[in-house]
Chain A
Amino acid sequence: MIRTLSYSLFAFLFVCLLCSPTRAADSDYQQAMKALGSNDFVNALHYFESAITDDPDNLMYSSEYRQVAIKSKDFDRSVSFFEKLATTKPQSANVHLNFGFAYVDKIPVAGSITQVILANKALTEFTKAVELEPNWINLYTRGMSYLFWPKIFNRAPMGVADLEKAMKIQVAGPKKNYYVKTYLALGDGYWKTDQLEKARAVWQEGLKQFPDNQQLKARVDHQGDDLQKIIEANLDPNKRVDTDLRELWTSSQN
């Protein structure tokens, strides 16, 4: 009886131990959202950090944390936070992904040379994420990241390789709204590597899948310098890249 009770108690404690970080994380997340609701960015960041520390793989916590860091222009805090987290959780692909995004979030406010340094650091983290988990989001993110590099650095072919893999993953599974991004990016990658026919084919295929997408339409409808302007505007390091990942958990299937 006592032995049975001991086993039961042990099992209960074990389950509690498993659950408690998530529960605590959820509680902190709720506090963070509450603080955010009253524009209290300092407390929001604090609670998000607690939540992420307890649940580092949670993409939603990390993504929303970074959006608050962007709003409060506290880019260094975000970078520093993920840097520490990546040392304690080196095997978490999601931590490396968000660490990379923290660098990306800072790029528009940085000087032109610092932008290069930040982009390179982001790429290092995205590579770690791909190596740990070569899933759609990691491949798409790194692939897209390569495309931002000026042509002279010859990184676009590596971006195309990642995006082709991301495309393979997405066509093999159920359709998601955000998959339109791969059609855009892969086409841009082909364009950037002087494969215009392949670019057009990908954009046209994307348009079949997502007929209302204006960005795809614009690419299909334009040529030459006009097309160049559209693509380069999309890859301008001085413009903020949308690194909000909420589409991943809010996107419905078409």
Chain B
Amino acid sequence: MDKFSKLKALLLSLLLLTQTFAAAQSSQPAIRFEEIGVKAGVRVQHHTRTFHGKNADVLHMFTSGGAAVAVGDYDNDGFEDIFITDSDAGKPNHLFHNNGDLTFTDVAVKAGVAGGNDPLSVVSDALWFDYDNDGKLDLLIARFGTPILYHNEGNGKFKDVTATSGLNKFGNSIAVIAFDYDNDGYLDLLFGNYFKPVNLLDLKDPHVLPNDLDNATNGGGVTLWHNTGKGTFEEVTQKAGLANVTGWVLDVGHGDLNNDGLQDIYIACDYGTDHVFLNNGNGTFREITEKATGWDTKKGMNVDIADYDNDGWLDIYVTNITDEYMKECNMLWHNNADGTFTDISRETGTCDTGWGWAAKFADLDNDGWQDLFVVNGLRSAGPESYVPLILPVITTPGLDITDPGNWPSIGNRTWSGYQKKRLFRNLANGTFKEISAEAGVDNQFDGRGIGVIDLDNDGKLDLVQTNADQPLLLFHNISEHTGNWIELKLIGTKSNRDAIGARVKVTAGGLTQIREVDGGNGYAGESTRRIHFGLGSANTINHLEIRWPSGRVESVSVPLNHVSYIEEGHGVVQR
């Protein structure tokens, strides 16, 4: 072999080596997380309420949904804080103040927001929202009971203003979102209620469980509360046209589903059909379920709304139950842009997530395509399964299934437990790939809520996972080679201050994406109020347009890889 041939061979080998290395690199998972709960000081345990009397454990199981997370920067220091609920009697909630260095300090007691788990009330969900537009996030605690509204006093302390707020109606609420349904500039509240409004801790009549496991009609429905703008709320469920929902609501979600500038709603019901309502723009809604999705009989657990395929129309993801003994499949409702939706969960690979709970869309690798994290699992306990014991309950003719006394005791049995969480990477071609193991999020806790948060303002979205009767998990996004990004904190002036319902459209790198500021979509989890866009390799933004809830449309310019604050009518402002 002559010198030239040797050099050629060497170069060829180098080329091959480089190609192999590049191929290996490109096949590396783009999304990686490190669980930092202990290190961050947030590793707290949730406790479901303990019931007493016959078949107390059946009620315990039916109420095991209250492990919730709410993300919000309550002290406006530029770092997002985390509120975590507990549910057992006397157990405190947690307000984790973000110290800005990936550690947190629990200030719930000092701030005055630890309470709520009274002997006759169970904390089930939480929501940050600025109900009085004073620029400070207030806190709503949803309960099996009456809710609690805390006003943010601005000095690290909160004041319980429930008594004067008008929010005095008992409900077994499991979900709550805030949005301005009538665009009057004040945030209204939509509660999803699971059981009918009877106090489970002081039962006079034991017939409280679903009257049908596929088409139950004896649930709590929804309650809509209009914000008067004077620090009070008034119930408008009937007036708004939502009183006919009598199902076992587990989650509610909002978004502009038909691109008319108004916020529409999707209601996910356990044991029966979900509901889709369009906003008429006059303070009322009209149901379009039959045409939009058809009537389902599944066990709806979660609503998240996002444009996963970047076609300019918001899609809806609903988790259901898929297990060896029940093959429901989730629903990814693709928006057909004509008032109808098509379930494409099978086609997209997002059908089976076990006993699903929360699911959240988020662009975790900043490639411009929203990925999907789903938590699951009902009850992980002993080696025996509860499922065979339920069969006689279901199949015995005439057995009154509404009475917990007719359900067998669960004891230490497992029911759809030890399920691995699912993380679906959006492949940008209409399908997803399950990557939870590579990403480091395939834990087997009994997940309930998800909060998407940027813990350290690095533009890579992190995840909070709450678990029923198990510890909290905090996943720090340590993905490498992620794309460029922008985060926008929108501040309404004519619109509600939180800008909930605002839509942002960004065109960059040949891709147009939309996001809306949401007021708590997703089961048991309110995510960051900031709008986050991954931009991939795009170095410039061609166009960024904001459509505020007030109807105002404005274009702004923001720097890449920064968190920007934008005030309605004033463009980019200093924090």
User: Do A and B associate with each other?
Assistant: yes
With an 8 A cutoff between CB atoms, is A236 at the interface? yes
Bound-state Cα–Cα, A238 to B329, Å? 11
Bound-state Cα–Cα, A121 to B391, Å? 12
Bound-state Cα–Cα, A114 to B324, Å? 16
Known: A114-B214, A150-B324, A153-B388. 10 other contacts (CB 8 A): A112-B214, A112-B326, A112-B327, A112-B328, A113-B394, A116-B395, A117-B395, A151-B324, A154-B388, A237-B327
Question: What is the interface residue range for chain B against chain A?
Answer: 10 to 19
Within 8 A of A (CB), among B319-350: 321, 324-328
Bound-state Cα–Cα, A153 to B324, Å? 10
Find chain A residues with CB under 8 A from B297 CB: 110-112, 114
Selected A-B contacts with CB under 8 Å, 22 pairs: A110-B297, A111-B214, A111-B215, A112-B297, A112-B299, A112-B328, A113-B214, A113-B326, A113-B394, A114-B213, A116-B391, A116-B395, A117-B394, A117-B395, A150-B324, A150-B325, A152-B325, A152-B385, A152-B387, A152-B388, A153-B387, A237-B327
Given contacts A152-B385, A152-B387, A152-B388, contact A110 B214 (CB under 8 A): yes
With an 8 A cutoff between CB atoms, is B143 at the interface? no
Bound-state Cα–Cα, A117 to B394, Å? 7
Within 8 A of B (CB), among A196-241: 236-238
Residue on B with the closest CB to A109?
Answer: B297
Find chain B residues with CB under 8 A from A153 CB: 325, 387-388, 391
With an 8 A cutoff between CB atoms, is A58 at the interface? no
Find chain B residues with CB under 8 A from A113 CB: 213-214, 326, 394
Bound-state Cα–Cα, A152 to B391, Å? 11
With an 8 A cutoff between CB atoms, is B476 at the interface? no
Find chain B residues with CB under 8 A from A120 CB: 391, 394-395
- Of A111, A151, A154, A236, the most chain B CB neighbours within 10 A belong to A111
Q: What's the minimum C-beta distance from B86 to chain A, rounded to whole angstroms?
A: 31
Count A/B pairs, Cβ under 8 Å. Answer: 48
Contact of B298 among A111, A116, A151 (CB under 8 A): A111
Within 8 A of B (CB), among A93-128: 110-114, 116-117, 120-121
Q: Name the prevailing secondary structure of the A interface residues.
A: helix
Bound-state Cα–Cα, A121 to B394, Å? 11
Residue on A with the closest CB to B321?
Answer: A112
Residue on B with the closest CB to A154?
Answer: B388
A residues sitting closer than 8 Å to B (CB atoms) are 110-114, 116-117, 120-121, 150-154, 236-238
B residues sitting closer than 8 Å to A (CB atoms) are 213-215, 272, 297-299, 321, 324-328, 385, 387-388, 391, 394-395
Q: What's the minimum C-beta distance from A134 to chain B, rounded to whole angstroms?
A: 24
Bound-state Cα–Cα, A111 to B210, Å? 14
Residue on A with the closest CB to B322?
Answer: A112
Q: What's the minimum C-beta distance from B216 to chain A, rounded to whole angstroms?
A: 10
Beta-carbon contact of A238 and B327 below 8 Å: yes
Residue on B with the closest CB to A236?
Answer: B327
Q: What's the minimum C-beta distance from B62 to chain A, rounded to whole angstroms?
A: 15
- Of A113, A116, A151, the most chain B CB neighbours within 10 A belong to A113
Find chain B residues with CB under 8 A from A121 CB: 395
Bound-state Cα–Cα, A121 to B213, Å? 17
Bound-state Cα–Cα, A112 to B327, Å? 7
Find chain A residues with CB under 8 A from B391 CB: 116, 120, 153
- Of B214, B328, B388, B394, the most chain A CB neighbours within 10 A belong to B214
Q: What's the minimum C-beta distance from A128 to chain B, rounded to whole angstroms?
A: 15
Q: What's the minimum C-beta distance from A173 to chain B, rounded to whole angstroms?
A: 36
Find chain B residues with CB under 8 A from A111 CB: 213-215, 272, 297-298
Find chain A residues with CB under 8 A from B298 CB: 111-112
Bound-state Cα–Cα, A207 to B391, Å? 37
Residue on A with the closest CB to B215?
Answer: A111
Q: What's the minimum C-beta distance from B450 to chain A, rounded to whole angstroms?
A: 24
Find chain A residues with CB under 8 A from B213 CB: 111, 113-114
Bound-state Cα–Cα, A154 to B388, Å? 9
- Of A112, A150, A151, the most chain B CB neighbours within 10 A belong to A112
Find chain B residues with CB under 8 A from A237 CB: 327
Find chain B residues with CB under 8 A from A150 CB: 324-325
Residue on A with the closest CB to B213?
Answer: A113
Q: What's the minimum C-beta distance from A68 to chain B, rounded to whole angstroms?
A: 24
Bound-state Cα–Cα, A120 to B394, Å? 10
Find chain A residues with CB under 8 A from B299 CB: 112
Q: What's the minimum C-beta distance from A109 to chain B, rounded to whole angstroms?
A: 9
Residue on A with the closest CB to B401?
Answer: A113
Find chain A residues with CB under 8 A from B215 CB: 111
Q: What's the minimum C-beta distance from B498 to chain A, rounded to whole angstroms?
A: 38
Find chain A residues with CB under 8 A from B385 CB: 152
Find chain B residues with CB under 8 A from A154 CB: 388
Q: What's the minimum C-beta distance from B465 to chain A, rounded to whole angstroms?
A: 26
Bound-state Cα–Cα, A114 to B401, Å? 13
Bound-state Cα–Cα, A152 to B383, Å? 13
Contact of A116 among B321, B324, B394 (CB under 8 A): B394
Bound-state Cα–Cα, A103 to B293, Å? 26
Residue on B with the closest CB to A232?
Answer: B327
Bound-state Cα–Cα, A121 to B396, Å? 10
Residue on B with the closest CB to A123?
Answer: B395
Bound-state Cα–Cα, A114 to B210, Å? 14
